[in-house]
Structure 1
Amino acid sequence: MIQVPRGTQDILPSESYKWQFVEKKLFEIAKNYNYDEIRTPMFEATELFVRAVGGSTDIVNKEMYTFQDKGDRSLTLRPEGTAPVVRSYIENKMQHNVEQPVKLFYLAPMFRYERKQKGRYRQFVQFGVEAIGVEDPLIDVEMLSMLMHIYQSFGLKNLKLVINSIGDIDSRTQYNKALVEHFSPRIDEFCQDCQTRIDSNPMRILDCKKDRDHELVKSAPRIYDYLNDESKEYFERVKSKLDDLGIKYEVDYNLVRGLDYYTHTAFELMSDSEGFGAITTLCGGGRYNGLLEMMDGPDKTGIGFALSIERLLLALEAEGIEIPEEKGIDLYICTMNDEARDTAGTLLHKLRSRGISADMDYENRKLKAQMKDADRKNASFTIVLGEDELSRKSADLKEMATGEAQKLSFEEIINTLEEL
């Protein structure tokens, strides 16, 4: 039997209403912050992710789904959302838009070939936001405020916001030199990936999942000590404004994020709920100065974050927060004979065209079984069509919650339900 591919999942109707609820709220919050939706292709040129995400990252080296198309072009299913959005910003010359920054959000499936874990899949759905075109601590704070707003709007309380500054390019250069000096004498004690990163991106050693408890990681130089005055001032303004807004946070000087394009503010949001799992990160993001130029774009900067819908749902489950199920259908039509079934089909067409949700029995079951089906579908009203109802062209519209019924013509039933 052919089964769902490893690392993917079917979202069945018993669960899909939760996704719809979450997605609707995310769209509403994004619009409240004046972010507009962008939709990019599911696959891009492989070079986009190699250049933007970074050749030293696990995403590029281990996790991308890459293939050659019939034109012998190397394409990759998108593993993350920032690079495609930035590519679109550059290609469509959005730097010339009157309003800057350009505020964009997306909700789309991403693909990474990684080991399946609780709340992590090889195909997962990511909601992300990007503000491109302006460098200002207030934009960074807006991002963090929006991030907290999203999770708190669902009722989540066991949250921990962790922030850091990676500094500008000059600060990072000096810090990387210090890390090379710190790790090089004992780099052979680290995993093979870290031994490679010492030359390509030593900051990512601090982000290694295998060697995170190594004593040299714990005693590594703090990046804050290598920030130049401009970078320190930028970070202090971000923290000050967060304090003004009452947004609680912790500073973690080892937080560098997993992508090469981050500069200045970097952040992660974590869940402190019991039973959430070993991987506590809910969301992450940061500022990316220089990314657009790296992709042959204009001298513009941006900031963004992305969250996994799967892990958001997992956090809600961990805190015992239930998502309300949508109401059932407006009307269920029970039928007593074949002629009634034909009439019911015509009525359904008229009802649905007027915006009324309605259904009927298609298995020719007995009336009692049809009424049970109406209950399962949580119908607000029912009507029964038999010989008498067909001859009169009317039926008793029964309200299921109260049991009250009123005799109405077929057209009156439609008009009544439309008004309700």
Structure 2
Amino acid sequence: MSQSKQNKITGVRGMNDMLPAEAPLWAHLEQSIQSLVRAYGYQQIRTPIVEQTALFKRGIGEVTDIVEKEMYSFEDGLNGEQLTLRPEGTAAAVRAVIEHNMLYEGPKRLWYTGPMFRHERPQRGRYRQFHQLGIEALGFAGPDIDAEIILMCQRLWDDLGLSGIKLELNSLGQASERAAHRDALVEHFKKHESELDEDSKRRLGSNPLRILDSKNPAMKAIIESAPQILNYLGEESLKHFEGVQKLLKANNLPFKINPRLVRGLDYYNLTVFEWVTTELGSQGTVAGGGRYDPLIAQMGGKAAPACGWAMGMERVIELMKEQGLTSDLEAGCDIYVLHQAGETLEPAFILAERLRSAGLEVILHCSSDGEAASFKSQMKKADASGAAYAIIIGPDELAANQVQLKDLRRDGQQITVSMDNLVDEVINQLVSTSE
């Protein structure tokens, strides 16, 4: 093995680079998110990627897969604090809301995006560093806010042009109702204990609801025959669930009631939901969430209702690729400026800056070896850049105070333009191209 190969350092498995070819996809998704949150009046919040480990143990639940197996935790060498790279965003957002007394002035609609970290086996759409969009509505108790945050998802799918993402809905009721359901689950699963996998046997005594979330096909029949939470809901819980459904139906949003849907975190109550697709293999959940009324008090704040959802941004990018929604998102610019170095370099720089000052996107050719490239070589780079037009400045054009303006995307027409009138002419050409 060569010395260079021995010294090569690669990225951490499951923590991926975003390369320039994917940048337009990410930019389009992020712009769509910005439009979405503005349309619904949500305000941005940002929290650190590192929090106290105790935050997630208390907020997510100590017997969840995330806390038991997946968190990146470490001891701060400076002061001995136990810290964790955030595995999800809700607990951190709630911590910030409590710490800064944000509900003092009334309910809040919040959103965030950013990297999350989970130590798990990487596979398509499931990475060790991944990015989420999070929506959190705090201080709202009625089914109307549940319906609003669900409708936000559908609007995002529509804005992105995505299809085939189906809504599944359930209610987990309140604590007393879940306790009665839990007893029934324990009784049911104990009858089939010999058929449970080791993970489910462990959860039988700590959190039997999580068994319903098992993806083990050998346990499918046992799980399907288990008691359903909907049969244990009281009058108020049923009323809330029916209120959500009524608003979704009024907005012509189809959904499926999935009585086995529990979500993977301990803080949920009442409404829970997932948006699922069959186009991403085993990682079929694109977004999910629900109501988490107990969490704020559980984390030391004054009790207040809340609900929200999170979306895996990498999974949406994968789905956009799968459905061919990338052809109109190629990276490009308005103008590529060609020159022959020497005396043409300085005016080329000046013209490029004038065009940028007019709000245009401009790439100025720069040599890779310090020598002036031929116009033929530069034109190949101009075509590859995705630019709409090329501006050519040679010694003859410079002497006449002119440039050549070449259409790269339609008919290849080339016209001579005075440098003094260049900005206006370029803008006129770009406007006519878009019509």
Normalising TM by the smaller chain, what interval?
A: over 0.9
Counterpart-to-counterpart distance in 2, 1:212 and 1:289: 34
Counterpart-to-counterpart distance in 1, 2:218 and 2:255: 22
Q: Which residue matches 2:84? A: 76
Q: Which residue matches 1:92? A: 100
Report the alpha carbon displacement of residue 344 of structure 1 after superposing the two structures with TM: 1.7
Report the alpha carbon displacement of residue 334 of structure 1 after superposing the two structures with TM: 1.6
Whether the aligned pair in 1 keeps the contact of 2:126 and 2:283 (CA below 8 Å) is no
Q: Which residue matches 1:417? A: 426
Report the alpha carbon displacement of residue 211 of structure 1 after superposing the two structures with TM: 6.4
Alignment RMSD: 2.0
Whether the aligned pair in 2 keeps the contact of 1:211 and 1:217 (CA below 8 Å) is no
Q: Which residue matches 2:144? A: 138
1:56 has 2:37 as partner: no
Q: Against the structure 1 CA distance between its residues 136 and 323, is the aligned structure 2 distance closer, same or farther, given a 3 Å change threshold?
A: farther
1:3 has 2:7 as partner: no
After TM superposition, the structure 1 = structure 2 runs for residues 85-124 of structure 1, keeping only pairs within 5 Å, are: 85-98=93-106, 100=107, 102-124=108-130
1:249 has 2:258 as partner: no
Counterpart-to-counterpart distance in 1, 2:351 and 2:394: 14
Report the alpha carbon displacement of residue 418 of structure 1 after superposing the two structures with TM: 5.3
Counterpart-to-counterpart distance in 1, 2:397 and 2:162: 52
**Unaligned regions of 5+ residues in structure 2, if any?**
1-7, 431-435
Relative to the length of structure 1, the TM-score reads 0.93
Q: Which residue matches 1:21? A: 28
Report the alpha carbon displacement of residue 314 of structure 1 after superposing the two structures with TM: 2.1
Counterpart-to-counterpart distance in 2, 1:16 and 1:152: 21
1:297-317 CA deviation, whole Å, 9 max, x = no partner? 111011111111111122233
After superposing the two structures, state which structure 1 stretch, 11-20 or 352-361, moved more: 352-361
Counterpart-to-counterpart distance in 1, 2:288 and 2:28: 22
User: 3-state SS of the aligned residue for 2:328?
Assistant: coil
Aligned pair partner of 2:335 in 331, 335, 338: 331
Residue type matched to 1:81 in 2? Answer: G
1:36-88 CA deviation, whole Å, 9 max, x = no partner? 11111111111111100110100011011111122211111111111111111
Q: Which residue matches 1:373? A: 381
After superposing the two structures, state which structure 1 stretch, 372-381 or 396-405, moved more: 396-405
Report the alpha carbon displacement of residue 397 of structure 1 after superposing the two structures with TM: 2.8
1:187-244 CA deviation, whole Å, 9 max, x = no partner? 3542333223222222111112236735432221111111111111111221222222
1:129-177 CA deviation, whole Å, 9 max, x = no partner? 1111111101111111111221233223322211110001111121112
Counterpart-to-counterpart distance in 2, 1:319 and 1:381: 30
Counterpart-to-counterpart distance in 2, 1:220 and 1:314: 34
**Unaligned regions of 5+ residues in structure 1, if any?**
none
1:340 has 2:367 as partner: no
1:210 has 2:216 as partner: yes
Whether the aligned pair in 2 keeps the contact of 1:355 and 1:418 (CA below 8 Å) is no
Residue type matched to 2:12 in 1? Answer: P
Whether the aligned pair in 2 keeps the contact of 1:18 and 1:323 (CA below 8 Å) is no
Relative to the length of structure 2, the TM-score reads 0.90
Aligned residues: 416
Report the alpha carbon displacement of residue 7 of structure 1 after superposing the two structures with TM: 0.7
Residue type matched to 2:259 in 1? Answer: Y
Q: Against the structure 1 CA distance between its residues 183 and 35, is the aligned structure 2 distance closer, same or farther, given a 3 Å change threshold?
A: same
Q: Which residue matches 2:187? A: 181
Counterpart-to-counterpart distance in 1, 2:20 and 2:340: 29
Counterpart-to-counterpart distance in 2, 1:397 and 1:412: 12
Aligned pair partner of 1:349 in 353, 359, 369: 353
1:300 has 2:307 as partner: no
After superposing the two structures, state which structure 1 stretch, 238-247 or 363-372, moved more: 238-247
Report the alpha carbon displacement of residue 406 of structure 1 after superposing the two structures with TM: 4.3
Q: Which residue matches 1:34? A: 41
Whether the aligned pair in 1 keeps the contact of 2:46 and 2:112 (CA below 8 Å) is yes
Q: Which residue matches 2:5? A: none
Give aligned-pair identity as a percent.
39
1:311 has 2:319 as partner: no
